[in-house]
């Protein structure tokens, strides 16, 4: 009897579909794809009939989902000290609960933020658990995008896609649905994998409805699909080293996502059609992504580490405009601006950072360096005023920078007195004061005194890469090229220093090899303003000469190649 009821139901639905199709004007382009998708989805739906017909109860589904979530607790584990992730967890839960309130099934939905930058995905478990990875949220600019993703995953639960997946897995593994402990061992990849084209498009469609019902714009869906497409192209084109584990994880995740989901063009077309059919054209106002500044600051930090200074500065600036009280973002912005030779802006950004972290000596030295490089006529009094107002114990290194700025301004007495004091004492900070002052004397062009002070610092701090490298630069201007090379090699190979030492020593091939390697990883060396502001005229002139020689050799190589091809 049940078999006849099922057959009658299928026939009735088919007849209704035919009548509806005859009355509705076709909007799809003519293509064999539609027939292929129809056949594939029909086959899929037929395999689902026994499952949907014996659908498990909400109570059992919730219990199974909770057991699965208990097994996967480590996936969304957040360190108690990670306040940013805790804030993001609360934010995801707030937006998710707002969207889930409009779902048909009133289940105990729970939303989990996974703090993994490499996870460009979201997935759901039966009964109401929804997970979203940091990598996917990093692609978002608006809360509407987040609402569309969470709505999509809610609909996988709301429309029993997750429940059917657990039933099919149980059947394939010959497990009883009542054996909850056994079901909880099903790998999480089962739920991270996508569903059929029909189910994915259904989740897109109904998820968009949930988002709109929650006062979000349907443009969030389109914006996210476009961002995913861009990310997919980036990871396909980006070169990766064998050691780039994070890069391989992103590639694996994003490629898996695109294999298991319909093409973005199909998904965008469906949402655009819905906007027209549902008269959503006026719903264009989007909500900025709350806490998005956390992702922008992280992106800026990665770009700075990759020496992409312009992008790093742009993203960090955007982040502090949205959320000014972010010390890390101000420091990233200051360092990026310094690398771009925007020294005036860099000094201002360092100063903002120091409002939050006044005891950070390294950043305070960066502030002094930026004031010097900007040739700020008021730099010395401005720095002295900040040091005087700074709370905390006196810092000998800041005293050295104060004296150094005064030395540049023409008052050498404080620096001379500080040198004498450091030479007389054997305090812990004495070699650091000497090393720091030695670099200020280099900037002033007093190379002999600079070499003496840096030599004393190196004697007491033989493992200091900074002082050994600074000594190498001074030795270059003293035309002691072999000693400079030795000093640079002790630091692990300061490549531009080695390039200049070899260039001045008439070893052009070795010099150009080091030059090419250095500029590949530290592009600021190709910025004349940056070099001229921070190093001696000899360094600036040598870099200009090597750059010209490199270009001349490249033109000659191309000419030889053209000649070879023409023969």
Please write down the HEC assignment for all residues of 275-310. HHHCCCCCCCCCCECCCHHHHHHHHHHHHHHCCCHH
Q: What count of Cα atoms within 13 Å lies in the side-chain half-sphere of residue 156?
A: 25
- Nearest CA to 167 out of 69, 10, 48, 67 is that of 48
Q: Which two tokens stand for residue 262?
A: 């319909």
DSSP 412: -
Can you tell me the distance from the alpha carbon of 533 to that of 550, in angstroms, rounded to the nearest whole number? 23
Supply the Cα-derived Rg of the chain in whole angstroms.
32
Q: For every one of its 567 residues, what pLDDT tens digit does the chain have, with 9 covering 90 and above?
A: 545 555 555 455 555 554 454 444 434 343 333 433 343 344 344 444 444 445 778 988 898 889 889 888 877 888 888 899 999 999 999 999 999 999 999 999 999 999 998 888 999 999 999 999 999 999 999 999 999 999 999 999 999 999 888 888 878 777 776 666 666 677 878 888 778 889 999 999 999 999 999 999 999 999 999 998 887 777 656 555 444 444 444 544 545 554 557 788 889 999 999 999 999 999 999 999 999 999 999 999 999 999 999 999 999 999 999 999 999 999 999 999 999 999 999 999 999 999 999 999 999 999 999 999 999 889 999 999 999 998 877 899 999 999 999 999 999 999 999 999 999 887 788 999 999 999 999 999 999 999 999 999 999 988 899 999 999 999 999 999 999 999 999 887 689 999 999 999 999 999 999 999 999 989 999 999 999 999 999 999 999 999 999 999 999 999 999 988 887
Distance separating alpha carbons of residues 147 and 201, to the nearest angstrom = 16
CA distance 160 to 153: 11
pLDDT at 47: 42
pLDDT of residue 229: 84
| Contact assessment for residue 157 and residue 229, using Cβ atoms and an 8 Å cutoff | no
Tokens of 3: 């078999």
| Cα(69)–Cα(76) distance, integer angstroms | 10
Q: Are 383 and 368 in contact (CB under 8 A)?
A: yes
Measured CA distances, 161 to 26, 141, 207, 366 (Å):
28, 29, 13, 56
Q: CB under 8 Å to 433, separation ≥6 — which residues?
A: 396, 397, 399, 400, 418, 422
Nearest residue to 287 (alpha-carbon basis) of 84, 91, 129: 91
First-to-last C-alpha distance (Å) of the chain: 85
What is the per-residue DSSP string for 80-146?
A: TT-HHHHHHHHHHHHHHHHHHTT-SS----EEEEE--TT---EEE-TTSEEEEEHHHHTT-SBHHHH
* Cross-strand pairs, 131: 112, 123
User: Is residue 383 within 8 Å of residue 401, measured between CB atoms?
Assistant: yes
Q: How many CA atoms lie within 13 A of 313 on its CB side?
A: 17
Q: Rounded to whole angstroms, how far apart are CA atoms 398 and 385?
A: 12
Nearest in space to 485 (alpha carbons), one of 477, 493, 403: 493
Q: How far apart are CA 252 and CA 118, in angstroms?
A: 9
Contacts 24+ apart (CB under 8 A), 505-513: 505/481, 508/549, 511/546, 512/546, 512/549, 512/550, 512/553
Among 128, 127, 121, residue whose Cα is nearest residue 189: 121
Task: Measure the CA angle with vertex 445, ends 441 and 451; round to 5°.
Answer: 55
Q: Are 336 and 315 in contact (CB under 8 A)?
A: no
pTM: 0.79
pLDDT computed for residue 8 by the predictor: 54
What DSSP string describes 383-398? HHHHHHH--SS--HHH
Sorted by sequence, the CB contacts under 8 Å of residue 224 that are 6+ apart come out as 139, 140, 145, 148, 149
């Amino acid at each position: 009897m049940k078999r006849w009821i099922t057959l009658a139901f299928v026939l009735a639905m088919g007849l209704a579909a035919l009548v509806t199709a005859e009355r509705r004007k076709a909007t799809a382009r003519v293509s064999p794809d539609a027939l292929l998708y129809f056949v594939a989805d029909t086959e899929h739906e037929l395999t689902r009939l026994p499952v949907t017909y014996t659908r498990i109860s909400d109570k059992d589904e919730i219990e199974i989902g909770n057991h699965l979530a208990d097994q996967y607790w480590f996936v969304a584990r957040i360190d108690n000290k990670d306040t940013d992730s805790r804030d993001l967890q609360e934010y995801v839960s707030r937006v998710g609960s707002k969207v889930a309130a409009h779902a048909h099934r009133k289940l105990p939905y729970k939303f989990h933020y996974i703090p993994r930058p490499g996870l460009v995905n979201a997935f759901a478990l039966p009964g109401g658990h929804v997970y979203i990875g940091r990598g996917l949220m990093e692609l978002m600019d608006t809360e509407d995008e987040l609402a569309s993703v969470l709505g999509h995953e809610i609909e996988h639960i709301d429309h029993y896609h997750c429940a059917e997946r657990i039933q099919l897995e149980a059947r394939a593994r010959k497990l009883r649905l009542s054996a909850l402990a056994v079901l909880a061992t099903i790998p999480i990849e089962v739920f991270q994998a996508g569903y059929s084209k029909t189910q994915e498009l259904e989740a897109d469609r109904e998820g968009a409805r949930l988002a709109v019902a929650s006062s979000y714009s349907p443009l969030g869906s389109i914006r996210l699909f476009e961002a995913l497409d861009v990310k997919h192209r980036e990871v396909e084109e980006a070169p990766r080293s064998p050691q780039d584990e994070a890069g391989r994880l992103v590639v694996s995740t994003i490629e898996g996502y695109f294999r298991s989901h319909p093409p973005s063009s199909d998904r965008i077309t469906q949402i655009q059609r819905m906007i027209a059919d549902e008269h959503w054209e006026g719903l264009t106002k989007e909500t900025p992504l709350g806490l998005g500044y956390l992702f922008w600051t992280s992106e800026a930090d990665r770009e700075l580490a990759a020496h992409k200074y312009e992008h790093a500065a742009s993203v960090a600036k955007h982040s502090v405009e949205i959320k000014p009280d972010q010390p890390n973002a101000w420091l990233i912005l200051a360092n990026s601006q310094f690398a771009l030779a925007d020294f005036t802006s860099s000094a201002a950004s360092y100063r903002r950072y120091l409002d939050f972290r006044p005891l950070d000596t390294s950043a305070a030295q960066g502030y002094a360096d930026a004031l010097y490089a900007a040739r700020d006529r008021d730099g010395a009094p401005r720095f002295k005023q900040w040091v005087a107002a700074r709370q905390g114990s006196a810092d000998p290194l800041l005293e050295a920078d104060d004296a150094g700025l005064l030395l540049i301004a023409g008052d050498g007495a404080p620096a001379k007195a500080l040198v004498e004091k450091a030479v007389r004492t054997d305090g812990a900070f004495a070699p650091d004061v000497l090393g720091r002052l030695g670099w200020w004397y280099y900037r002033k062009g007093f190379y002999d005194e600079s070499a003496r002070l840096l030599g004393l610092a190196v004697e007491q701090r033989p493992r200091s890469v900074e002082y050994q490298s600074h000594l190498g630069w001074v030795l270059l201007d003293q035309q002691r090229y072999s000693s400079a090379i030795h000093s640079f090699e002790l630091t692990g190979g300061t490549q531009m220093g080695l390039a200049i030492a070899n260039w001045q020593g008439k070893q052009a091939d070795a010099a150009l090899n080091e030059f090419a390697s250095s500029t590949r990883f530290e592009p600021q060396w190709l910025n004349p303003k940056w070099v001229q502001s921070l190093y001696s005229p000899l360094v600036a002139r040598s870099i200009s000469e090597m750059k010209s020689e490199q270009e001349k050799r490249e033109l000659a190589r191309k000419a030889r190649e053209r000649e070879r091809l023409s023969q």
